Amino acid sequence: MPSPALVSALLGFVALFTVGFAIPESVVDSWLGGTNLLHLIRNLLFLVSMWFLRRAICLVLSRPSTRRNPIPLLVQMLVMAVFFAASPRGPTTGLFIPEYVHEPGIWAYANVYMAGVLWLAVDIIRLARTSAPRPLGWFWWFSAGGILISMASLVELVYMSVVPRFGRESAVAQSLYPLFSPLLYSGIAAIVVGLCIPPVTTLVRRAELPLRLVNARAKAICTPRTSCRRSAATAFVSGLLAADPRGEVYDTMIQLRDGTMASVVSLTAAQLALLVDLEQRFPYDQMAIAIPKEVRPDEAHP
């Protein structure tokens, strides 16, 4: 079964095609009869996408979803469709709400939709704030995203109350209209960042990226000074892609230490600084997993 995050991403991707992202909105709506039906489909897709996004957050926060029953969402979507179908609509327009919000049915349809978005956004905030303390990248990204989406919903609800009474050209309406999209998409982006942090962190940990960077730096610094920059770059890449970065770091540390003890090889300032850094980063007790016991110089063996 696809994960909630994947379903949400797929629905969001489909929704992008309904706002002229790849195909002009007028073209897509003309396929549906040219009566702004695309507006309803886009909003329904977004609601379902938000529902699965909330489910994905529950999984990331290891929280049981207390609102898994989709019936309230389905009822809301049905009410939206009824209000939309019962209202007069003209030809395709990219400003559907500003032009038709004075119609009672469209006003009700749009308010039910934004109330649903607000409900899901507030629930995301609740999930984030009632969870056990998490690292910054988990807890606050979800909370911030929910707050931004809630603000966007409130702005749109106020806008739809102002326009029928004062007109779309009023100062209040003109100041509110540009705020909706930046708030909404910033909130979605924040939540997506929060969802991406756990798998990326796991991937970095499994790939031992910090250790590989240390190994690559060590290889580049220890490249003979007579070599060209290209050789140093090659050594850096080789250290980054090493099959056993921990073992190579240990080998480099031993070679540098042997050089200082034998007084045969004169280490550069960069190599001496590297040796000090490696000894501080990787004491023997931390390297023991990769270092055979019989080759550890600080231990005596019978």
* pLDDT tens-digit series, residues 242-279: 777 777 777 877 777 766 655 555 667 777 777 777 77
Q: What is the pLDDT of residues 127-166, one digit of tens each?
A: 887 765 555 556 788 889 999 999 999 999 999 999 999 9
Q: What is the pLDDT of residues 74-118, one digit of tens each?
A: 999 999 999 999 998 888 888 899 999 999 999 999 999 999 999
Is residue 80 a contact partner of residue 26, using CB atoms and an 8 Å limit?
A: no
Q: Give the closest residue to 281 by CA, choosing from 222, 214, 221, 183.
A: 214
Mean pLDDT computed over 22-31:
74
Lookup: tokens for 220:
């580049």
Is residue 157 a contact partner of residue 118, using CB atoms and an 8 Å limit?
A: yes
Q: Give the closest residue to 252 by CA, choosing from 283, 218, 296.
A: 218
Burial of 33 (0-12, 13-18, 19+ CB in 10 A): exposed
Q: For residues 49 and 268, which has the higher predicted lDDT (pLDDT)? A: 49
Residue-range domain boundaries for the chain: 4-207, 209-295
Q: Which of 131-140, 175-184, 213-222 has the lowest mean pLDDT?
A: 131-140
d(CA 121, CA 54): 8
pLDDT at residue 229 greater than cutoff 60 = no
In sequence order, the 6+-apart residues with CB closer than 8 A to the CB of 143 are 124, 125, 128, 129
Chain position carrying tokens 């109350």: 161
End-to-end alpha carbon distance in the chain: 58
- Would you give the distance in Å from CA 194 to the centre of its chain? 5
C-alpha neighbours within 13 Å on the C-beta side of residue 206: 6
Is residue 174 a contact partner of residue 212, using CB atoms and an 8 Å limit?
A: no
pLDDT at residue 209 greater than cutoff 80 = no
Lookup: tokens for 225:
């000074």
d(CA 122, CA 147): 7
Instruction: Supply angle C-alpha 200, 148, 65, rounded to 5.
Output: 60
Q: How distant, in Å, are the alpha carbons of 48, 223, 282 from that of 156?
A: 19, 61, 56
Burial of 29 (0-12, 13-18, 19+ CB in 10 A): buried
Q: Number of helices (H) and strands (E), helices first, in the chain?
A: 14, 0
